[in-house]
Structure 1
Amino acid sequence: MFSLSDTRRCVWVNGPVIVGAGPSGLAVAAGLKEQGVPFVILERADCIASLWQKRTYDRLTLHLPKQFCQLPKFPFPDHYPEYPNKKQVIEYLESYAKHFDINPQFNETVESAKYDEACKLWSVETVSPSGCKVEYICQWLVVATGENAERVVPEIEGLENFGGEVIHACDYKSGENFRGKSVVVVGCGNSGMEVCLDLCNHDAKPSMVVRSSVHLLPREVFGKSTFELAMFMLKWLPLWLVDNILLVLAWMILGNTEKYGLKRPSVGPLELKNTLGKTPVLDIGALEKIKSREIKVVLGIKKFSCGMVEFVNGEKLEIDTVVMATGYRSNVPSWLQESEFFSENGFPKTPFPNGWKGKEGLYAVGFTRRGLSGASADAMKIAQDIGKVWNEDLNKKNRKSLHIEDAFDILIGGPRIF
C-alpha cells in the first residue's frame, strides 16, 4: 500500500476484490478462505447484510425452509425454526462472518470499476463518507451487489401533489405507526402481501394495488414446504407438469383467487420464475384478509391528488400513506464499466447456471433469481475457480524458488546449513 495524497490511497490486492458484503459476498469470501486465497471485501454500508439489517420489515421471515437458504459449509443452527425470522437470519449471517473471520471494509462505496487491458488488472475506485478515495488494484473482481441493490419507485401521476407520507417497503418496519390509517400498498408480491397483512394486524386499513397477474401458492402443502415439494417433483417430472400439479394443489387449498382480483398469469409459476425471474407469492395469511375484505384489492392507480388516490375504475379514496412495495433493481451499470458480461439491466447476459463467470477475471454472484440457494451454488464455483488459479500460480512460484536455491547450492559447492 502507498499513499498518493492525504485523501487518496492506492492499494494492491493479492487476491480478488469482492464488491458487497451481503450473503453472496460472504459466501464467496468463506470459500476463498478455505482455498487459502486472500481478498478484500468492500461494503458501502456500515454492517454486513445491510438489506436484512436496515431495509426489511420487523415481521419478515424466510419464505423457504432454512435448509434451502443456508450458506456453504455452515448450516443454520438446529434449534432455529424451519422458517427463521429476521433477527435469527441476521444472527446467522453475523456468525457466518465471524466463523470464517471475514472482515469487510465498511463505508466504502464503489464509484467505478474497470479493466486495464495494458496492465491486465482491475481498478476499483471507492469513496468513503468523509471523502477519502481509495483505488484497489486486483487480478479478479467479484460483483456481489446482488439483485436488490436499489429500490424501484414508479412514476405515478400526481404523486408529488399527494401531500401524505410516501415510503418504499424498504423503509417500512411495522404497522404500529399506522393504526386507524388508510394505506395504499402499491405491489402484490411477497413484500406487498406481507405489508398488507401486517397493517391489518395493527388495525390499519390497507388497499393493495394489483397492477399485473400474480401466482399465489400456499407456503405449505399437507404440512410440507411447497418449494421443497416442487424441487422433489422436478427430479422426476418435466417442469410443465410440476407447474400444473402446483396449480391444482393451489386451487384445492386456496380456492379460486381470481374472483378476489388476483388473476393468474398464463405461464406456470416455475416457468415464469425461470424465464422472467418473477417469484410466486407464498401465502402466509394475507389471502384470508383479502377474502374477508380487510385487505382491499384494487386493479391500478390512475392518479394521486391532495390526500386522495383515484383508481383506474374511477373510484376515489381518501388515504393517509402510500407504501411502494415495488421491488428493487441491480445497480451494477452505475459503477461497472463493462458491457460484454453484464446487460443494461445489471444482470449477467448468460442465464443460470452459467452466469457466474465472465472474462478477464470478472465474476458475478447473487444474480441467479434463485435466492440464497442460487447464490451459494455460484459462490462455491467462483471460490474454486479462483482458488485453482491461485494455487497453481503459488506452486509455480515455489518451484521457481526451489530451482533458484538449487542453483545457489551448486555455486557455493553444496547445500546450505543454517
Structure 2
Amino acid sequence: MNYHKLKVAVIGAGASGLCAARHLLSRPHVFAPPVVYELSNCVGGTWVYTDKVGRDDYGLPIHSSMYRDLRTNLPKEVMSFPDFPFDSQLPSFIHHSDVRSYLEQYADHFEIQPHIKFRTHVELLNPVSGTTGDAWNSWEITSLNLNNHCRNTERFDSVIVCNGHYSEPFIPHIPEIEHFKGQKMHSHEYRCFQTC
C-alpha cells in the first residue's frame, strides 16, 4: 500500500511554532518532516530581545515587544511545555533571556533546528483548488530568502500559522491626539528607561 505522508509548513519558530514542529516530528508515520519558516536568524519569536525598534536591516518590522529588563508575569512552572520543564534552579518569575534559552534548548532537544529555514520571509500563502475546483486541498507558500534574495514556492497539505499576535502594535484613534505636545510611543517600541 502506497501511503502519502502529509507535508506541513509551520510559519514562525517561536514557542507555538516549535511546539507544532516538535509534534509533527513525533509522528513520522503520518507527517513528512515539517518545513518551518522563520523570519529572523534564531528561534524564540517574541522572546528574542533587540535594542532596535521600527524596522530591521531588511526594512521589515521588528517583531519583538520585549523590553530590556522584562521578567515573566507567570511562574515558569505554568509556562513550560508538559514534556520539557524549565531548569528547576531558575526562580519562578524569570528574565526574558531565560525563556529564549529554554526555547533554544527545546529546539535542540527535539531536533527541530534542521527543519527551520532561517532568514526566510513568507510573502504569500495561497489555497490551491482541488480537482473539483470548488474547494482547496493544498496550500502554496511563496517565500524570500533574505540572505540570497531567492524566491521559492512550495506546496503543502497543511499550514500552521504561528507568527505571533504581539508583533504589530494597535494604536487606537484618540480624539485631539494631534494637539498633544509630549512624546507619543507605543509599548512595542519601549526598550528601557531613558537613562539607559
The TM-score normalised by the length of structure 1 is: 0.36
- Structure 1 unaligned segments of length 5 or more: list them: 1-12, 179-418
Compared with structure 1, are the counterparts of its residues 44 and 34 closer, same or farther at alpha carbon in structure 2 (3 Å cutoff)?
same
- 1:127 counterpart residue number: 144
> What is the deviation of 1:78?
0.9
**In structure 1, what is the Cα distance between the partners aligned to 2:120 and 2:40?**
7
> What is the deviation of 1:111?
2.1
Residues 45, 164 of structure 2: 8 Å contact kept: no
- 2:17 counterpart residue number: 25
> What is the deviation of 1:161?
6.5
Match of 1:68, as an amino acid?
V
Compared with structure 1, are the counterparts of its residues 50 and 167 closer, same or farther at alpha carbon in structure 2 (3 Å cutoff)?
farther
Residues 23, 71 of structure 1: 8 Å contact kept: no
Compared with structure 1, are the counterparts of its residues 46 and 155 closer, same or farther at alpha carbon in structure 2 (3 Å cutoff)?
farther
Q: What SS is found at the alignment partner of 2:67? A: coil
Residues 19, 25 of structure 1: 8 Å contact kept: yes
Residues 27, 72 of structure 1: 8 Å contact kept: no
Match of 1:69, as an amino acid?
M
1:112 aligns with 2:129: no
Instruction: Give aligned pairs, total.
Output: 166
Compared with structure 1, are the counterparts of its residues 116 and 153 closer, same or farther at alpha carbon in structure 2 (3 Å cutoff)?
same
- Structure 2 unaligned segments of length 5 or more: list them: 50-63, 132-136
Match of 2:47, as an amino acid?
W
1:60 aligns with 2:70: yes
**In structure 1, what is the Cα distance between the partners aligned to 2:41 and 2:184?**
26
Structure possessing the higher radius of gyration over alpha carbons: 1
Query: Which structure features the higher share of helix residues?
Result: 1
Of structures 1 and 2, the one scoring higher in RCO (CA 8 A, sep 6+) is: 2
Q: What SS is found at the alignment partner of 1:94? A: helix
**In structure 1, what is the Cα distance between the partners aligned to 2:44 and 2:70?**
15
The TM-score normalised by the length of structure 2 is: 0.73
> What is the deviation of 1:14?
6.0
Compared with structure 1, are the counterparts of its residues 160 and 126 closer, same or farther at alpha carbon in structure 2 (3 Å cutoff)?
farther
**In structure 2, what is the Cα distance between the partners aligned to 1:161 and 1:132?**
46
- 1:147 counterpart residue number: 165
> What is the deviation of 1:154?
2.4
**In structure 1, what is the Cα distance between the partners aligned to 2:123 and 2:90?**
39
> What is the deviation of 1:157?
4.6
**Cα RMSD (Å) of the superposition?**
2.5
> What is the deviation of 1:49?
1.9
> What is the deviation of 1:47?
2.1
Residues 37, 118 of structure 2: 8 Å contact kept: yes
**In structure 1, what is the Cα distance between the partners aligned to 2:119 and 2:175?**
36
**In structure 1, what is the Cα distance between the partners aligned to 2:181 and 2:117?**
40
Q: What SS is found at the alignment partner of 2:119? A: coil
- 2:184 counterpart residue number: 166
Compared with structure 1, are the counterparts of its residues 144 and 61 closer, same or farther at alpha carbon in structure 2 (3 Å cutoff)?
same
- 1:175 counterpart residue number: 193
Q: Deviations over 1:346-380 (max 9, x none)?
A: xxxxxxxxxxxxxxxxxxxxxxxxxxxxxxxxxxx
